[in-house]
Amino acid sequence: MEPGYVAILSLLFLFSLYRLLGSHHGKINGENENKQRLPPSPPAIPVLGHLHLLGKPMHATLARLAARYGPVFSLRLGSREAMVVSSADLARECFTEHDVTFANRPRFPSSLMLISYDGTTLPTCRYGHQWRNLRRVATVQLLSAHRVSCMSPVISGEVRAMVRRMYRSAAVATGGAARVELKRRLFEVSLSALMETIARTKTSRAEVDADTDMSPEAQEFKKAVDEFIPLASAGNISDLLPVLKWFDVFGARKKIMAGVRRRDAFLRRLIDAERRRSLDNGGGEDDKKSMISVLLSLQKSEPEVYTDAVIMALCSTTATTAEWAMSLLLNHPEVLRKSQAEIDAAVGTSRLLAADDVPRLGYLHCIISETLRLYPVVPLLLPHESTADCDVGGHHVPSGTMLLVNVYAIHRDPATWPDAEAFRPERFEDGGCGGAQGGRLLMPFGMGRRKCPGETLALRTLGLVLGTLIQCFEWDVVDGGDEVDMAQGDGFTLPRAVPLEAMCRPRQGMVDVLQKL
């Protein structure tokens, strides 16, 4: 047997012995009141605790455990104690009454720490002075309502470019309908808008690869993200059993580092190019500055806070929700037709949907809300960690407990969401889109002080992209199939198991507009 495995087995044996002796000692002396009030827990095994119970996808496994042990239960994940919350009321209690207590983040050295520049990103930063600085910059300098409005022309331009390419593909396709892989299209438009807003840099549209339908920049960045996103989760075994990190038994650390290096090289080129551009131009008006330019200005006064690593950490995007929304619309053509009718009535067919039109499209917002309910981008949110003892739902929660909020289960709770598994955008028409209504809680971007500050930008971009696709094209399942397969993939986010492909045909009433793009 290899020496490394002998060492691992020896340590596991000693730790098992320690746990068993500790358990025996506790039985002799009796449990104290707090331990008696801990949340219910499944039977555990030595060392691993409940790790053997966790299957993929993790949010679905935890939802099944919640059905058996209740809306709040505890798990021992290797060396970590965790509490899983799967009800709206308990989630609201954690993020209102105990918001400060759960404002911290646990550290995961082999996964999230590597991806998040050792925990210096806004989502993963420890609660304290650094987090307050980053939060202030994000909400005031980068993602304020005014700056998001200033980004709208850029995003609109990238959406127009995407539609133009799709129309030209359909125009030369047999039967006037093109087969498109929407994940690639959506990733390309998201990255193009991202590069324009953060660095005033355009992708090489003239060099779009015919096979991948993506620019070289989009291919490079997507390859890096695809390498490490599936590995970025709280369930990484070496994070939960720290002794394994010295051996990297599953090779996860090496894979993550390879993807991170590729991503960092890409983003560093953007930063260096913007730094040179700022020196050449001598600055500019704040409204016209890119995100990176704003951060570089702050770096001059506080270089120890706004390092290049922090700047790179604030540059991220996803097209996951738009892909799920289109999947749902393909399976529910009546919803697609109703949304097209709304857009035709509000915008007409003589021009493309504009960013200013999106707030007036109530049913489109209902579609987005219902998509986020069924397929939240991060189904378990980012893990929180308690910094003091507290009580949740009448149960004692010790300091240092990791909190996992199963948004996926909360959004599909049949006790609060009638016909919870069904796609019904109309459920949001009466009570508005988002927030709490009738005791229900929609929280795809989190809740409390650690809520994602990019919600406004994400919803505005999603509304414009999805609304334009609905306005400009008729959509159908490929190869005459009945339905799109809605199988979920694995990973920290909630990807589709298979990238979405669909047939798109220009809508007859929009042909004149599309020809002029």
pLDDT digits (tens, 9 = 90+) for 252-263: 677 777 877 887
- pTM of the complete model: 0.83
In this structure, what token pair is assigned to residue 116? 């998040």
Residue numbers belonging to the annotated binding site for heme: 452
Instruction: Name the band, by pLDDT with cuts 50, 70 and 90, for residue 439.
Output: low
Quote the CA–CA distance of 370 and 439 in Å, as a whole number: 16
Candidates 371, 409, 404; CA nearest to 385 is 404
Q: 506 near 493, Cβ under 8 Å? A: no
Q: In this structure, are residues 87 and 71 in contact, taking their beta carbons and an 8 Å threshold? A: yes
What interhelical angle do 145-171 and 455-472 show, nearest 10?
30
Lowest mean pLDDT across 32-41, 301-310, 350-359, 389-398:
301-310
Q: What are phi and psi of 172, to 5 degrees?
A: -100, 0
DSSP letter at 244 equals G
Above pLDDT 90, what percent of the chain?
43
The CA-based angle 223-313-434, given to 5 degrees, is: 90
Per residue in 20-44, pLDDT (tens digit) is 444 444 444 445 566 668 999 999 9
* 282 lies in some domain: yes
Q: What is the DSSP letter of 52?
A: G
pLDDT bin (cut points 50, 70, 90) of residue 376 is very high
Number of domains in the chain: 1
CA dist 63 → 68, 232, 441 (Å): 9, 20, 17
Whether the CB-CB separation of 408 and 61 falls below 8 Å is answered with no
Least confident of 117-131, 240-254, 332-346, 483-497: 240-254
Phi, psi (degrees; rounded to nearest 5) at 436: -100, 135
User: String of b and e for 355-369 (b: at least 16 CB within 10 Å)?
Assistant: bebbeebebbbbbbb
The residue ranking higher by pLDDT, 279 or 91, is 91
Is residue 42 in a domain?
no
CA distance 216 to 201: 13
More confident residue, 431 or 15: 431
Which of 380, 396, 385, 384 is closest to 39 using CA atoms? 396
| Domain presence at residue 36 | no
For residue 511, the domain's CATH number is 1.10.630.10
Largest CA distance in the chain: 83
| Domain presence at residue 39 | no
DSSP type of residue 88: H
The runs of H, that is alpha helices, within 229-350 are 237-240, 252-281, 291-301, 308-313, 320-331, 333-346
DSSP letter for 245, please. G
Concatenate the DSSP letters of all residues of 425-444 into one string.
GGGGTTT-SSEEETTEEE-T
Amino acid at 492: F
Q: Could you read off the pLDDT of 188-231 as tens digits, one per residue?
A: 777 777 666 666 665 554 445 444 455 676 667 667 766 666 66
Q: What pLDDT is stored for residue 213 in this prediction?
A: 54
DSSP H helical ranges for 306-415: 308-313, 320-331, 333-346, 362-374, 407-411
- Give the closest residue to 71 by CA, choosing from 446, 419, 378, 414: 414
pLDDT of residue 5: 37
In a domain, 504, yes or no: yes
Q: What pLDDT was estimated at residue 515?
A: 94
3-class DSSP state for residue 385? strand
Task: Give kind and range of the element (H or E) at residue 195.
Answer: helix 182-199
pLDDT confidence bin for 109, thresholds 50/70/90: low
Q: Which of 68-72, 270-274, 337-341, 371-375 has the lowest mean pLDDT?
A: 270-274
| Cα 269 to Cα 202: distance, rounded to the nearest angstrom | 13
Range of the domain at 412: 133-515
Residue 14, H or E segment: helix 3-29
Instruction: State mean pLDDT over 431-441.
Output: 56
* Residue 434 CB partners (closer than 8 Å, separation 6+): 369, 428, 442
Are the C-beta atoms of residues 184 and 212 closer than 8 Å to each other? yes
Known binding residues: 452
Beta bridge partners of 39: none
> What is the rounded distance in angstroms from the CA atom of residue 327 to the CA atom of residue 476?
10
Highest-scoring range by mean pLDDT, 13-17, 94-98, 456-460, 488-492: 94-98
Report which residue type is found at 253: R
Q: Is the pLDDT of residue 487 over 90?
A: yes
For tokens 């990255």, name the residue.
Answer: 191
Are 49 and 77 a contacting pair, CB within 8 Å? yes
Instruction: Please state, in angstroms and rounded to a whole number, the distance separating the CA atoms of residues 430 and 362.
Output: 11
Domain annotation covers residue 120: no
**In terms of Cα–Cα distance, which of 322, 328, 288 is closest to 461?**
322
Q: In angstroms, what CA-CA distances link 134 with 120, 204, 338?
A: 9, 31, 41
Identity of the residue numbered 465 = V
- Dump pLDDT digits (tens) for 394-433: 999 999 999 999 999 999 999 889 999 999 999 999 764 4
How far apart (Å, rounded) are the C-alpha atoms in residues 226 and 246?
A: 25
Residue 104 belongs to some domain of the structure: no
Q: Is 13 a domain residue?
A: no
**Residue of 72, 74, 75, 70 lying closest to 52 (CA atoms):** 75
Computed over every residue of the chain, the mean pLDDT equals 81
What percentage of the chain carries pLDDT values higher than 70? Answer: 74
Letter string b/e over residues 84-104, b meaning 16 or more CB atoms within 10 A of that residue's CB: bbbbbebbbbbbeebeebbbb
- Cα–Cα distance for residue pair 113/509, rounded to 1 Å: 51
